[in-house]
A and B are shown apart, each in its own frame.
Chain A
Amino acid sequence: MSPADVLRRLGRALTDRIWRLGYASRFMLMTLFYSGTAFKRFQLTMREIYFTGVLSLIIILVSGLFVGMVLGLQGYDTLQRYGSSEALGVLVALSLVRELGPVVSALLFASRAGSAITAEIGLMKATEQLSAMEMMAVNPIARVVAPRFWAGVISMPLLAGLFSAMGVLGGYLVGVQLIGVDEGSFWSQMQAAVDFRQDIMNGVIKSFVFGVIVSWIAVFEGYDADPTAEGVSRATTRTVVTSSLAILAADFVLTAFMFRGI
């Protein structure tokens, strides 16, 4: 292959991606524009919150507990070298509410709920259910896409909060109950060091942004999937891969904005 061909292919791949990003942005604007139904008939969104949020609870809660337990073990191991094992509560809580809660729960949400949303919308397209809806004068973006999008956006911060809470519990079980860190110091230092606005609210903002990103990618990939078995499978994979990368990249950008160290 000549260098010109390589350059041409690279250019083509780049313009294709930019075109697709533009298309996805337009799709997002249309979803926002047609979101009236999702709020006027909130039971449609509630149903999706059940499927995306409530049914993700088990994986979120169990993962949160384990992540917190690991943080307890690793944190104690490091802190006790400096004689500050009482600060374990602070370490566990700050790690969870600032970073691990929003990020890990968003990654889990993308693989559990995002992939399901993409597969469902993609299969609805492949079996002509979306076309049928259009022919029945019902806009599929308003009826199918927007409720799923908003369900994801609403569920994500709640799931991240529950993940962090379970993580703190896991850290407590390992740090206090198993290793024997002083219970009073564990909780009081945590209470003193965790700031509501700087730590908790920033975590909530992050998880809200991740909710928008994952839900947007999931509904777009489903709606844009090739209407074949292979097309839906590819779209589902793209949802998980793209969402995961986007979550991590957005996390860096948001953390940089929220960082007060400099």
Chain B
Amino acid sequence: MSPDPLVEIRDLNFAYDNRAILTGINMTIPRGKVVAIMGLSGCGKTTTLRLIGGQLRPTSGAVRVAGRVVHELDETGLYQLRRRMGMLFQFGALFTDMSVYDNVAFQMREHTDLPEELIHDLVLMKLHAVGLRGAHHLMPTELSGGMARRVALARAISLDPMLMMYDEPFAGLDPISLSIVGELIRKLNDALGISSIVVTHDVQESLKIVDYVYFVSAGKIVAEGSAEEIKHSREPFVHQFIWGESDGPVNFHYPAQSYRQELHAQPARPSGWWS
């Protein structure tokens, strides 16, 4: 690991209404690397991204980005830091009242005084990088899921961030879009010299592109290592997750009382008068 990591998370705890979401998280995101945070749905992966972006405050511990403790920043400081971060949301989160072009130009218009001619060239360059220069005139509703994700990626890199965060970039994509998005994440990371954090539960695609993986289960890191190490891990949870086995430490059934007891119990009353 590099001596000066871009993101450093130390002893991070986070709880919603006394319900612990993350417990004792320690992570290091070195500069120039692609790091994945993997785990089951609802294990706290997206919460970790929101803590790094300063949208949530940790209960204890700290997230340090480029040497600054995120939750100690005031609003101006936080916004300055966020200008150097890009985030790709799960379903793109494109502004539906703006065209593809205006979506990509959004940050440039908000944060810079660049003339429209220059913004025009920059927008087309960013869209070209994701292969959608020809779609600049379309509205978000006219795009497929994969295209929307790529436009959102072009928007996220519009101000050349130092850190890119991807929240489930592969969810709901067809195999072709999936590998296009995967390759883009890697290529953009290397070409722009940025660092990337990919939150995902898509094992096969992400292991192809990432340098390091953290496995999170029930708010704790249960395993970490390079993609190769993870593939050959003997840790039961990781093994079950990587190979998609239904049998293992993760139960198929949600916790419940005994089957026999439940079958003999009185039927539950309808939850409302309309049922």
In whole angstroms, how far apart are the Cα atoms of A70 and B55 in the complex? 55
On whether A136 and B82 interact (CB within 8 A), knowing A129-B95, A129-B96, the answer reads: yes
> Inside 8 A of B94's CB, which chain A residues have their CB?
129
> Inside 8 A of B106's CB, which chain A residues have their CB?
136, 138
Distance (Å) between the CB of B47 and the closest chain A CB? 13
Distance (Å) between the CB of B141 and the closest chain A CB? 12
> Inside 8 A of A124's CB, which chain B residues have their CB?
95-96
> Inside 8 A of A137's CB, which chain B residues have their CB?
79-80, 82-83, 107, 110-111
Per-position binary interface string of chain B over residues 77-104, scored 1 when its CB falls under 8 Å from any chain A CB and 0 otherwise: 0011011010101110111100000000
Q: Are B110 and A136 in contact (CB under 8 A)?
A: yes
In whole angstroms, how far apart are the Cα atoms of A135 and B95 in the complex? 13
Nearest CB in chain A to that of B89: its residue: A128
> Inside 8 A of A136's CB, which chain B residues have their CB?
82-83, 106-107, 110
A-B contact number at CB 8 A: 46
Q: Are B93 and A128 in contact (CB under 8 A)?
A: yes
Distance (Å) between the CB of A217 and the closest chain B CB? 22
In the complex, whether B58 has a CB less than 8 A from a CB of chain A is no
In the complex, whether A245 has a CB less than 8 A from a CB of chain B is no
In the complex, whether A132 has a CB less than 8 A from a CB of chain B is yes
In the complex, whether B32 has a CB less than 8 A from a CB of chain A is no
Nearest CB in chain B to that of A130: its residue: B93
Nearest CB in chain B to that of A144: its residue: B95
In residues 109-166 of chain B, which contact A (Cβ within 8 Å)? 110-111, 152
Distance (Å) between the CB of A67 and the closest chain B CB? 33
In residues 110-140 of chain A, which contact B (Cβ within 8 Å)? 124, 127-129, 131-132, 134-139
Nearest CB in chain B to that of A128: its residue: B93
Nearest CB in chain A to that of B165: its residue: A135
Highest count of chain B CB atoms <10 Å: which of A128, A132, A134: A132
In whole angstroms, how far apart are the Cα atoms of A131 and B90 in the complex? 12
On whether A132 and B89 interact (CB within 8 A), knowing A127-B96, A137-B83, the answer reads: yes
In the complex, whether B219 has a CB less than 8 A from a CB of chain A is no
In whole angstroms, how far apart are the Cα atoms of A52 and B85 in the complex? 34
Nearest CB in chain A to that of B49: its residue: A135
In residues 143-184 of chain A, which contact B (Cβ within 8 Å)? 143
> Inside 8 A of B107's CB, which chain A residues have their CB?
136-138
> Inside 8 A of A131's CB, which chain B residues have their CB?
55, 89, 93
In whole angstroms, how far apart are the Cα atoms of A135 and B79 in the complex? 8
Q: Are B55 and A128 in contact (CB under 8 A)?
A: no
In the complex, whether B53 has a CB less than 8 A from a CB of chain A is yes
Distance (Å) between the CB of A30 and the closest chain B CB? 11
Q: Are A138 and B53 in contact (CB under 8 A)?
A: no
Nearest CB in chain B to that of A138: its residue: B110
On whether A132 and B110 interact (CB within 8 A), knowing A127-B93, A137-B79, the answer reads: no
In whole angstroms, how far apart are the Cα atoms of A102 and B93 in the complex? 38
Highest count of chain B CB atoms <10 Å: which of A124, A129, A136, A138: A136
Please report A residues at the B interface, Cβ cutoff 8 Å. 124, 127-129, 131-132, 134-139, 143
Can you name 8 A-B residue pairings with CB atoms under 8 Å?
A: A128-B90, A129-B94, A132-B152, A136-B107, A136-B110, A137-B79, A139-B79, A143-B110
Known: A124-B95, A132-B152, A136-B83. 15 other contacts (CB 8 A): A124-B96, A127-B91, A128-B91, A131-B89, A132-B89, A134-B55, A134-B82, A135-B85, A136-B110, A137-B80, A137-B82, A137-B107, A138-B110, A138-B111, A139-B79
